[in-house]
């Protein structure tokens, strides 16, 4: 049986389906006979023991590799042993409620109470309580635990969607591919899959229902085809296709270690986008010129609490030290949208991508912003740190962000803590309103980095996560290219650096256009560096400028893509 989806991270994988859907259990109020009370109390103690064993195993497993995450499970064990909570559950059972309802209602009471606490550290514990409650109810329902941190060999994950925290904790040794029902080319699943080199396909409706756990699957994330329960002939063909893809990659990889230059030796800097610096990213650091995007939200998402100034300082310092003097472009916290922190509850929004995210949110939560800015500034003495603000929409946003930065600097001075006063400050260009005002924006900052993922989304009013509308969300939309050209000219006129750090910067079809615009900094997922270096070597700087002119004169995505593919193919034939 065959299915079709959109390729979001290229490659070919052969493996077995591993369906992943976090269990949702709904409990309603029911009672038991008085004669069943004693037995139910015993059942509760058994249940607690099983949950304890699960938590202990999880804690032990993570202790060696990730002690930070291990702490989460230690805290869950403590909650499970909380005397007041236990008393509340036992009282409910004594009142002849079912065990399920006793758990549900008691946890709800405690969660309500905690969520009202003034101290954010206490209210943040509600997410953990919820987690413990879900664990108990899941064990009761007889459903085995599932997470992505430990996968069976050759697993192809099948899920409706994956949260950034799911993908961050993924078992990279055993995962072969990812298939999701939703999520577009620049969803975070796509970005992480590409950075880990995991083939991924999205936009496969009802994948979780149709692709059964354990069944053999071929996924071709070059064509978007998924073959479920393949025949031996199909398996043979897929193995051949996989081998030839690997060979092609091998050829591209020869470019990896070379500098990125046009055929007439004009340099274009290539950078990498990182979350937490992974082993793979560290391995590739010698072959790139800079870190163009350090998505600091991963540090927050990987933690069970709001990272302290000290923890952040250590993390930023670590990246700066490992980068060996290369520029590290640290983006301040970008949460909201699809990125949530379990310990930091925010009001529910109808349209989170148009809501209080990134810089907007940081400006609202002064303490949170100040902590990060102080940590980043303190780290600036350990390398070449550039700080940039995401989701800037207006000149007033820039002014407010700069004021917050200034306040952080003054507070460090007061505390006699050193920082580099010359730290470069920039903005991401990802909201069209600020792209239009590029000339004015450039006066306030040292550099700009174009976030094409969000810029395309906001310019074309098409959700980057929604696989149903990929035809509206396309890298080659002429309006985006013209707007990027405008931004690049306005920043260049004032001698300010401009780079691209959205996924388009690592797309071999579009990277040459940016170089033609005069953009000399492109930051991307590690898996794309070799291909970008290869394509850049095909053209001279003059040819790139001419290619850009031809592209900007075209008015449809199809024409632009066809033109670029033809130009690249012509060069490759030579």
CA 36 to chain centre: 49
Q: Considering only the stretches 138-146, 168-176, 411-419, 452-460, report the one whose residues sit in contact with ligand PEP under the rule CB under 6 A.
A: 452-460
Q: How far is CA 243 from CA 200, 226, 240, 247, 317, in A?
A: 18, 17, 5, 6, 41
CA-closest candidate to residue 393, choices 454, 472, 464: 454
- Binding of residue 451 to Mg ion (CB under 5 A): yes
H-type helices in 380-445, by residue range?
395-414, 432-436, 438-442
DSSP-assigned states of every residue in 158-199: EES---HHHHHT--TTTEEEEEESS--TTSHHHHHHHHHT--
**Distance (Å, whole) CA 550 – CA 561:** 12
CA-closest candidate to residue 141, choices 36, 45, 30, 26: 26
Residues 426-445 that bind Mg ion (CB under 5 A): 430
Q: How far is CA 184 from CA 159, 189, 202, 442, in A?
A: 14, 9, 7, 31
Q: Is-contact 178 199, C-beta < 8 A?
A: yes
Q: How far is the CB of 190 from ligand PEP (least distance, A)?
A: 10
- According to DSSP, the residues that pair with 295 across neighbouring strands are 331
CA-closest candidate to residue 531, choices 306, 322, 251: 251
- Binding of residue 454 to ligand PEP (CB under 6 A): yes
Task: CB nearer to ligand PEP: give 192 or 227.
Answer: 192
Q: Which does 452 bind (CB under 5 to 8 A by kind): ligand PEP, Mg ion, none?
A: ligand PEP
Q: Which does 323 bind (CB under 5 to 8 A by kind): ligand PEP, Mg ion, none?
A: none
- Binding of residue 453 to ligand PEP (CB under 6 A): yes
* Contact track, ligand PEP, 182-221, x by CB under 6 A: ----x-----------------------------------
Among 275, 502, 506, 512, binds ligand PEP (CB under 6 A): 502
Among 104, 297, 454, 503, binds Mg ion (CB under 5 A): 454
Sign of the CA dihedral with 510 first, then 269, 533, and 297 last: negative
**Distance (Å, whole) CA 513 – CA 495:** 20
Q: Which does 93 bind (CB under 5 to 8 A by kind): ligand PEP, Mg ion, none?
A: none
**Residue 188 annotated to the active site:** yes
Task: CB nearer to ligand PEP: give 12 or 501.
Answer: 501
- Binding of residue 104 to ligand PEP (CB under 6 A): no
User: Which of the residues 188, 260, 305, 474 is marked catalytic?
Assistant: 188
Task: CB nearer to ligand PEP: give 93 or 361.
Answer: 361
Instruction: Read off the DSSP letter of residue 344.
Output: S
**Distance (Å, whole) CA 99 – CA 425:** 56
H-type helices in 211-353, by residue range?
232-253, 279-284, 297-301, 309-322
Q: Considering only the stretches 71-79, 125-133, 250-258, 448-456, report the one whose residues sit in contact with ligand PEP under the rule CB under 6 A.
A: 448-456
Task: CB nearer to ligand PEP: give 128 or 507.
Answer: 507
Task: CB nearer to ligand PEP: give 378 or 464.
Answer: 464
Task: CB nearer to Mg ion: give 245 or 472.
Answer: 472
- Binding of residue 293 to ligand PEP (CB under 6 A): yes
Q: Is-contact 521 271, C-beta < 8 A?
A: yes
User: Which of the residues 7, 260, 362, 501 is marked catalytic?
Assistant: 501
**Distance (Å, whole) CA 184 – CA 181:** 10
Q: Considering only the stretches 21-29, 255-263, 451-459, 485-493, report the one whose residues sit in contact with Mg ion under the rule CB under 5 A.
A: 451-459
184 torsion bin: left (phi>0), alpha (psi -120 to 50), beta (else) = beta
Q: How far is the CB of 368 from ligand PEP (least distance, A)?
A: 18
H-type helices in 270-394, by residue range?
279-284, 297-301, 309-322, 358-364, 366-379
Residues 382-441 that bind ligand PEP (CB under 6 A): 430
Residues 214-243 that bind ligand PEP (CB under 6 A): none
**Tokens matching residue 567:** 């130009």
Q: Which does 293 bind (CB under 5 to 8 A by kind): Mg ion, ligand PEP, none?
A: ligand PEP
Taken as a whole, the chain contains a residue count of 574
- Binding of residue 451 to ligand PEP (CB under 6 A): yes
Q: Considering only the stretches 48-56, 449-457, 475-483, 484-492, report the one whose residues sit in contact with ligand PEP under the rule CB under 6 A.
A: 449-457
Among 501, 531, 536, 547, binds ligand PEP (CB under 6 A): 501
Total of residues contacting ligand PEP (CB under 6 A):
11
**Residue 501 annotated to the active site:** yes
Q: Known catalytic residues?
A: 188, 501
Q: List residues near Mg ion by CB under 5 A.
A: 430, 451, 454
Q: List residues near ligand PEP by CB under 6 A.
A: 186, 293, 295, 334, 430, 451-454, 501-502
């Amino acid at each position: 049986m065959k299915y079709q989806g959109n390729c979001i991270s290229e490659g070919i994988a052969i493996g077995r389906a591993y369906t992943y859907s976090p269990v949702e259990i709904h409990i309603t109020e029911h009672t038991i006979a008085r004669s069943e009370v004693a037995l139910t109390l015993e059942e509760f103690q058994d249940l607690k023991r099983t949950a304890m064993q699960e938590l202990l195993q999880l804690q032990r497993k993570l202790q060696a590799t990730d002690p930070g995450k291990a702490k989460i499970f230690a805290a869950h064990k403590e909650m499970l042993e909380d005397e007041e909570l236990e008393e509340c559950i036992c009282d409910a059972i004594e009142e002849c409620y079912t065990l399920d309802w006793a758990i549900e209602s008691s946890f709800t009471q405690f969660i309500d109470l905690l969520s009202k606490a003034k101290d954010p550290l206490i209210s943040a514990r509600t997410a953990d309580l919820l987690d413990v409650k879900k664990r108990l109810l899941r064990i009761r329902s007889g459903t085995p635990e599932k997470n992505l941190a430990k996968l069976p060999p050759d697993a192809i994950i099948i899920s409706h969607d994956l949260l950034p925290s799911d993908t961050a904790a993924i078992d990279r040794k055993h995962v072969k591919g990812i298939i999701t029902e939703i999520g577009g080319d620049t969803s975070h699943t796509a970005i992480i899959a590409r950075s880990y080199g995991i083939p991924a396909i999205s936009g496969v409706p009802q994948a979780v229902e149709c692709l059964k756990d354990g069944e053999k699957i071929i996924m071709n994330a070059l064509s978007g085809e998924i073959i479920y329960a393949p025949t031996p002939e199909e398996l043979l063909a897929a193995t051949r296709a996989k081998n030839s893809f690997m060979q092609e990659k091998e050829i591209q990889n020869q470019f990896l270690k070379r500098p990125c230059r046009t055929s007439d030796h004009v340099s274009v800097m290539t950078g990498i986008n990182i979350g937490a610096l992974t082993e793979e990213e560290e391995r590739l650091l010698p072959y790139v010129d800079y870190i163009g995007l350090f998505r600091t939200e991963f540090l927050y998402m990987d933690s069970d609490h709001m990272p302290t100034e000290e923890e952040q300082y250590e993390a930023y310092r670590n990246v700066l030290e490992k980068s060996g003097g290369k520029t590290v472009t640290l983006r301040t916290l970008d949460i909201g949208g699809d990125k949530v922190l379990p310990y930091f509850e925010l009001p529910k929004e109808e349209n989170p991508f148009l809501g209080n995210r990134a810089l907007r949110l940081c400006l609202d939560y002064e303490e949170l912003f100040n902590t990060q800015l102080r940590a980043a500034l303190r780290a600036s003495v350990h390398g070449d740190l550039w700080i940039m603000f995401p989701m800037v929409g207006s000149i007033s946003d820039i002014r407010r962000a700069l004021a917050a930065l200034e306040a952080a600097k003054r507070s460090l001075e007061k505390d006699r803590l050193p920082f580099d006063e010359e730290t470069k400050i920039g903005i991401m260009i990802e909201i069209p309103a600020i792209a239009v005002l590029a000339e004015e924006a450039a006066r306030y900052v040292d550099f700009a980095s174009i976030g094409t993922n969000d810029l395309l989304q906001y310019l074309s009013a098409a959700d980057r996560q929604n696989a149903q509308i990929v035809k509206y969300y396309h890298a080659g939309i002429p309006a985006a290219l013209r707007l990027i050209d405008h931004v690049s000219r306005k920043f260049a006129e004032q001698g300010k650096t401009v780079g691209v750090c959205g996924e388009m910067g690592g797309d071999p079809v579009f990277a040459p256009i940016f170089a033609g615009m005069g953009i000399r900094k492109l930051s991307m997922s590690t898996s794309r560096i070799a291909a970008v270096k290869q394509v850049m070597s095909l053209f001279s700087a003059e040819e790139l400028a001419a290619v850009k002119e031809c592209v900007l004169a075209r008015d449809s995505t199809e024409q632009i893509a066809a033109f670029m593919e033809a130009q690249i193919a012509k060069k490759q034939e030579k």
